[in-house]
Structure 1
């Protein structure tokens, strides 16, 4: 699988009957039901779905933007630097290899440690793992945000001799002497005023993320800048003819593509209700999924909501498995391009309910 194999022309993905306006939103005017585009055009709407995603903010880390153009610094979150990451791993000889997790919401919260685990596997294949001190530095107080999977991931890190540093937030990259500077966080996730410097040979940056600027400065946003919606109906709290989908919302779920699949089902039903003059009734259950790749052929298939574990199969998904790897490698890409993007995949709830029925028999 290559980077190009994960790209498709957007023109081929636009649904038939939809008008594709190739411009960006500059301003929202919800009181007038209009949006102003960057080119100056004003467009009116009766109903609107906001699906702006999340903005990668390397600029929030001092020196990070410049550091990405220097040897030893990379990020899977950037399409311009993901291939550089592989090259850096293949050229790695010795020293500290640091993988970070930011102190903000982030798209796919499992991705930073996935990159760390895959690097571990490649370094072992190359025969240089014993010369690497691998560090996973996370702003969280534990290795992963969902308790159900913490013990399994701690075991993975321990077996791979990966040092997990918690309550660490990357705030600066010094390129001339290859140092990563972290602020230490308290139990409230706020800076304590103490910093830590760590030298690196390889630094993988997982950037802070925010809602896109046009949304942050709009009347749709809450104080954090994300779209303020009812967490169940996904309807704007202040403008009932507007709904949200995806990472741009302030819903408490993890920001993953799997979440979007369930968002679509909810918004499809509820927007139709509103258009017919009825009240929205479909409720999003907070579902999210993160296939945690722990090696080049094993995956922990995490499925959860803010309130409960929502695993689809009757198997132990918290255990690294080859079958979950096969699903991640061969099934999920097809499900994404042929199902989710085309609007044909609304999440695994039906399969999950059937699986639970089998468990009770």
Structure 2
């Protein structure tokens, strides 16, 4: 892309709102330089611009007047940042999946290469007013992902976002904050230190030029970048109406993996996650399960199972003999044989074998479970 086209795209980030698909169509037809020239002129709209209302054209022309994009580019360079556009070696090509809603360009703070980091990244998003459980799960998931070499992407907000960033940083890992404002603007103010740490150790990125402020619609539109940039999105706590669910649904439309961390069925903050899991979302509880889904072939989570009890290692016939004995008291060998459905000699042979293994003991003319085995038997049978 020519330098003039790059500068024109930088200028257009002050004219078009993020995710403006109509603006994306205009950009395809006229190019950044041509579109900027059309918006700066008083000529009648032509081509794809022809159907634009006079009111909207007036608003766009007002924004396009007096732009000095070089000033924005100098400002971002002054604090060690940069502006990247489609076609640059650092541009993450997965953002092209957004079609006409693709960002015009991205403003960056931080040293790492965004394209390389995005290739192995996972979004961890969720409620701003999260519970201690949500904060714990977000931080634990992010730390586990970071330890496995994955980049954690989130929105820099309070709650789950902040916990995810801190979890990754605390594990010495990589994290990216996608902002809904200029990358030199700290929002929320309470995250001044956190955003500063991310800029030093990771990346802070956004579609809006330096100094631009966040709005409600920009937060929602920012979420599509988080979804497109990453291999998958994990939602940790979200109500039915939640920006995190917007991210998850966008990830689904783009063919990305969508995951959710379950919570209490009585919690309104988990209701949105549970609704996601009732659809195409996949339930995850730790980083290993996330990586199994989004990672390469062979990156499997460990098998989950309860503790293995000694009696679980017995063969089926010996277990049948053991189960024929009562939880309390003793039983004659013939009765054991009858309960186990075998001959007396076969049952006796199994009883002596179980005796040598410490499962049963001899009592006068009968047999009973040892105290250790009896406790395990009572627990299995629900006896207290």
Which TM-score band applies after superposition, normalised by the shorter structure?
under 0.3
TM superposition score normalised by structure 1: 0.28
More strand by share: 1
- Structure number with the bigger relative contact order (C-alpha 8 A, sep ≥ 6) is 1
TM superposition score normalised by structure 2: 0.27
